[in-house]
Chain A
Amino acid sequence: MADLSINVMVEHDDFLLSINEKISLTGITGIFGHSGSGKSTLLKVIAGLEKHVQGQLVINDSLAADLLLDSEAKKIVAPQQRNIGLVFQNSRLFPHLTVEENLRYGQTRRKNTLVNKPLDFDEIIALTKLDNLLSKSVEQLSGGEQQRVALARAILAEPRLLLLDEPLSALDDKNKILMLTLLTKVQKQLNLPMLYVSHSLAEIQQLANNLLVLSSGEITHYGDIHQVIHQLTTNNEILHQTSLSLTVKEHLAEYGLTSLALGEQQILMPFNRQVESDANANTNVRCIIAASDISVTLHEPSESSIVNHLQGTITSFEPCQSQVLLTVNCSGQDFFVDITAWSAKRLSLIVEQEVFIQFKANSVRTLR
């Protein structure tokens, strides 16, 4: 299994990036942080676009270790030699070339011509839905189209690793969703590892299997996406939320609901068009439930309009000013629940207690 071993330091006037981590190059790794946390700088270091980097950067795969940077040995592999793709925030298409010429630019310069046969141009065009745009000038494209061209162009250069620097930030909601779906599909079909930088946790939660959190130039968390979001919630670093990845059980189209399996229990969410178009059951849905959207009852509510009620056990009780953050384990899954200290006292909630949590279908959120 390939990994990227990073041990680098970058110093700017009032900013220090200091990273020492081995990142697994499988699936999509999200890199999350606020403005100025150093996430784009990290991406530039990996791409080779950042000058004055101290340290070492190595890509290890099953065959060999490929040294990209060793400042002590004065070895720096140029960006064009690294075989790493980068999709920028602004699509950076070449204005003097047509869409097709832009796409061919990377394809004719691809590095791994000896090992594999090239990706099928038409297949990538179909995948990114660019069929009708090939002969257009890039200035005729909408923002969403430009970003799709940028993505296809990067893929056709056949990089071993694709970096994405806030690729959705300039897009409207509709195009964001389109691109998210596309990225997931591309990742699956081509099995291309990706590092995805964003300041939107919701975006990353929809895509990534691993999450790396940067703060003031240092890694504060790295691991499985749901676990890291769990940690961030317990540390009060983000709005309290439960991040889930669940299997679709069935679609209740007539009620506009989709049922997700949680052990023996089920969760109902608003009917998800995306999930349906992905066809078959057994599809995974990623969703987030805000802790403030969940409430607790001592008995199973039978006469309530709230559709979701799950049985579980309180595993943690953390007072936080006038609020309490409860962790309730339902069928093996931890849910975060924010309630007032007053409610906690009134219901005399304690750890190990059996309770029911309830939330509306509409509070189960996905970006799609």
Chain B
Amino acid sequence: MPMNSAHPDVLALITTLKMAGITTIILMLIGTPLAWFLAKMKSRGKVFIEALVALPLVLPPTVLGFYLLLLFSPQYLPGQIWQEATGQQLAFSFSAIVIGSVLYSLPFVVQPLQKAFEQLGDDLLEAAAMLGASAFDRFFTIVLPITKASFITAASLGFAHTVGEFGVVLMIGGNIPGETRVLSIALFDHVEAFDYAQAHIISISLVISSLVLLSLIYLLNRPNKSRPKISKPVSSKRFS
């Protein structure tokens, strides 16, 4: 069945999943090194970067969307560069809502990972280095397996939060079917048109799927005996 002949809400679902999926992949690729950097960082600049990452948690999404809309328009340098490189306008495109989602959901990925890396500490990594493991080797054989649950949590939260986003997408994506019209916006359309039956279908599906996803995350993070705890160092910061 070709895309444009599908039901508009199905099309919105596909757009939403595509946006959330791509956003999550980018978030993991950017968020992991950023979280690592923050976990290891000791200078005072750390709090500023942490605050910057956490900003989307407190800011109205429309504020972020407003500034991004300006930046993405061809009148400003980022939008200009994008247009010259791709031949297309950045504002009101699928790429725009992905970039917006990445910024908007960043704290949901960075914070659990940063906490996990801080808890892991340096002890085991030092031990692995003394056994001949390089930095990459240590990441894949020590860090990743031990903090696996936090990675799954981070990815799930990033995904779920992106699915539930409205303000940023509305500001920088507009409402283009098959391109930027996502479920939350489709829902808004239905309500405005007094089509409550359709609005109910979308709403209840989002409630149920989010509930299932969050339950899975909490299940995963429940302290249980089969998941190895990290042995606490006796004293790691002593000189003698």
Q: Is B131 in contact with A157, judged by CB distance below 8 angstroms?
A: yes
CB-CB under 8 A from A15, the residues of chain B are: 239
Q: Is B134 in contact with A80, judged by CB distance below 8 angstroms?
A: yes
CB-CB under 8 A from A92, the residues of chain B are: 123-124, 126-127, 231, 233
Known A95-B146, A95-B229; judge A40-B132 contact (CB<8 A): no
Bound-state Cα–Cα, A79 to B122, Å:
13
CB-CB under 8 A from A86, the residues of chain B are: 126-127, 130
Q: Is B131 in contact with A109, judged by CB distance below 8 angstroms?
A: yes
Closest chain A residue to B129, Cβ basis:
A79
Bound-state Cα–Cα, A139 to B131, Å:
20
Residues of A in contact (CB 8 Å), total 43
Within 102-147 of B, Cβ neighbours of A (below 8 Å) are at 123-124, 126-134, 137, 141-142, 145-146
Known A79-B130, A105-B131, A106-B131; judge A38-B239 contact (CB<8 A): yes
Is A267 an interface residue, CB under 8 A from the partner? Answer: no
Q: Is B130 in contact with A96, judged by CB distance below 8 angstroms?
A: no
Selected interface stretch from A29-37, A59-67, A227-235, A311-319: A29-37
Is A119 an interface residue, CB under 8 A from the partner? Answer: no
Bound-state Cα–Cα, A77 to B134, Å:
12
Residue of B126, B133, B134, B239 with most partner-chain A CB within 10 A: B239
Within 212-240 of B, Cβ neighbours of A (below 8 Å) are at 228-231, 233-235, 238-240
CB-CB under 8 A from B234, the residues of chain A are: 89-90, 170
Is A345 an interface residue, CB under 8 A from the partner? Answer: no
Bound-state Cα–Cα, A48 to B141, Å:
21
Contact with B along A20-61 (1 / 0, CB 8 A): 000000000000011111111100000111000000000000
Other-chain residue from A94, A153, A154 in contact with B142 (beta carbon distance below 8 A): A94
Residue of A84, A86, A90 with most partner-chain B CB within 10 A: A90
Q: Is B229 in contact with A80, judged by CB distance below 8 angstroms?
A: no
Known A80-B134, A88-B123, A94-B124; judge A49-B129 contact (CB<8 A): yes
Within 9-24 of A, Cβ neighbours of B (below 8 Å) are at 12, 15
Bound-state Cα–Cα, A38 to B238, Å:
9
Known A36-B240, A37-B240, A80-B132; judge A90-B124 contact (CB<8 A): no
Is A137 an interface residue, CB under 8 A from the partner? Answer: yes
Contact with B along A158-170 (1 / 0, CB 8 A): 0000000000001
Question: Size class of B's contact patch?
Answer: 20 to 34
Is A365 an interface residue, CB under 8 A from the partner? Answer: no
Is A111 an interface residue, CB under 8 A from the partner? Answer: yes
Other-chain residue from B126, B137, B231, B240 in contact with A38 (beta carbon distance below 8 A): B240
Other-chain residue from A34, A79, A95, A96 in contact with B126 (beta carbon distance below 8 A): A79
Q: Is A106 in contact with B132, judged by CB distance below 8 angstroms?
A: yes
Contact with A along B141-162 (1 / 0, CB 8 A): 1100110000000000000000
- Chain A interface SS verdict (over half): loop
Bound-state Cα–Cα, A15 to B131, Å:
29
Is A144 an interface residue, CB under 8 A from the partner? Answer: no
Q: Is B131 in contact with A40, judged by CB distance below 8 angstroms?
A: no
Minimum CB–CB distance for B45 against chain A, Å: 18
CB-CB under 8 A from B235, the residues of chain A are: 89
CB-CB under 8 A from B233, the residues of chain A are: 90, 92
Q: Is A95 in contact with B228, judged by CB distance below 8 angstroms?
A: yes
CB-CB under 8 A from A88, the residues of chain B are: 123, 126-127
CB-CB under 8 A from B228, the residues of chain A are: 95-96, 137, 139
Within 181-240 of B, Cβ neighbours of A (below 8 Å) are at 228-231, 233-235, 238-240
CB-CB under 8 A from B134, the residues of chain A are: 78, 80
Closest chain A residue to B138, Cβ basis:
A80
Is A368 an interface residue, CB under 8 A from the partner? Answer: no
Contact with B along A257-278 (1 / 0, CB 8 A): 0000000000000000000000
CB-CB under 8 A from A154, the residues of chain B are: 130-131
Minimum CB–CB distance for B172 against chain A, Å: 42
Q: Is A109 in contact with B133, judged by CB distance below 8 angstroms?
A: yes
Q: Is B126 in contact with A49, judged by CB distance below 8 angstroms?
A: yes
Q: Is B131 in contact with A36, judged by CB distance below 8 angstroms?
A: no
Supply 17 further A-B pairs (C-beta < 8 A) apart from A48-B129, A90-B233.
Answer: A34-B240, A37-B240, A47-B130, A49-B130, A79-B126, A80-B129, A80-B130, A83-B132, A86-B127, A88-B123, A90-B123, A92-B126, A94-B142, A109-B132, A139-B231, A153-B131, A170-B234
List the 7 closest A-B pairs by CB distance, nearest first: A109-B132, A106-B131, A95-B228, A92-B127, A79-B129, A86-B130, A35-B240
Can you report 27 residue pairs joining A to B where beta carbons are below 8 Å apart?
Answer: A33-B240, A40-B240, A49-B129, A79-B129, A80-B130, A80-B132, A80-B133, A84-B130, A86-B130, A89-B234, A89-B235, A90-B123, A90-B234, A92-B123, A92-B231, A94-B146, A95-B228, A96-B145, A105-B141, A106-B131, A110-B132, A153-B131, A154-B130, A154-B131, A157-B130, A157-B131, A170-B234
